[in-house]
Amino acid sequence: MISRNFLLHKIGSAYAGKKQMLVYDQSTGDIINCILNTHDKYKSQYDKISSYFKGYNNEQTARNIYDFLKNNIRYVVESEDQQLLRSAAAILKQGVSDCKCYSLFIAGICDSLDIPFCYRFASYRPNVKSPAHVFVVINPDTNNEIWCDPVLSYFNYKKQYYYKLDKKPKKMAVYAISGIGATKKSKKSLLKKVGKTLKKGAKGIIKVAATPARNAFLELLKLNVRGLATKGYKVYETNPEKLKNFWGSIGGRYASLIKALEKGHKRKRILGTFEPAIGFADPATLLVTAAPIVAAFVKELKKAGIDPQELTDVAKIAINKKAQQLLADQTEEVEKVENQYEQEAEQTFND
d(CA 236, CA 254): 11
Of the given ranges (33-47, 58-72, 272-286), which has the lowest mean pLDDT?
272-286
Query: Is a pLDDT exceeding 80 seen at residue 40?
Result: yes
pTM value?
Answer: 0.50
Higher pLDDT, 72 or 22: 72
Contact in structure between 291 and 319 (CB atoms under 8 Å): yes
Q: Does domain 4-170 have CATH number 3.40.50.1440?
A: no
d(CA 343, CA 337): 10
pLDDT in the model for residue 24: 39
Higher pLDDT, 214 or 196: 214
pLDDT digits (tens, 9 = 90+) for 222-240: 888 878 888 888 888 888 8
Query: Is a pLDDT exceeding 60 seen at residue 67?
Result: yes
Q: SS3 for 165?
A: strand
pLDDT digits (tens, 9 = 90+) for 124-152: 999 888 888 999 999 998 999 999 999 99
Contact in structure between 64 and 148 (CB atoms under 8 Å): no
pLDDT in the model for residue 172: 40
Higher pLDDT, 216 or 13: 216
Share above pLDDT 70 across residues of the chain, in percent, rounded to a whole number: 65
Higher pLDDT, 30 or 345: 30
Residues 69-92, mean pLDDT to the nearest whole number = 82
Confidence of residue 49 (pLDDT cuts 50, 70, 90): very high
b/e code 28-65 from CB counts within 10 Å (16+ = b):
eeebbebbbebbeebbbbbbbbbeebbeeebbebbbbb
Query: Is a pLDDT exceeding 50 seen at residue 209?
Result: no
Q: Where are the domains of the chain?
A: 4-170, 202-327
Higher pLDDT, 43 or 290: 43
Contacts of 348 (CB under 8 A, 6+ apart): none
pLDDT in the model for residue 77: 80
Higher pLDDT, 56 or 210: 56
Query: Is a pLDDT exceeding 60 seen at residue 334?
Result: no
pLDDT in the model for residue 315: 59
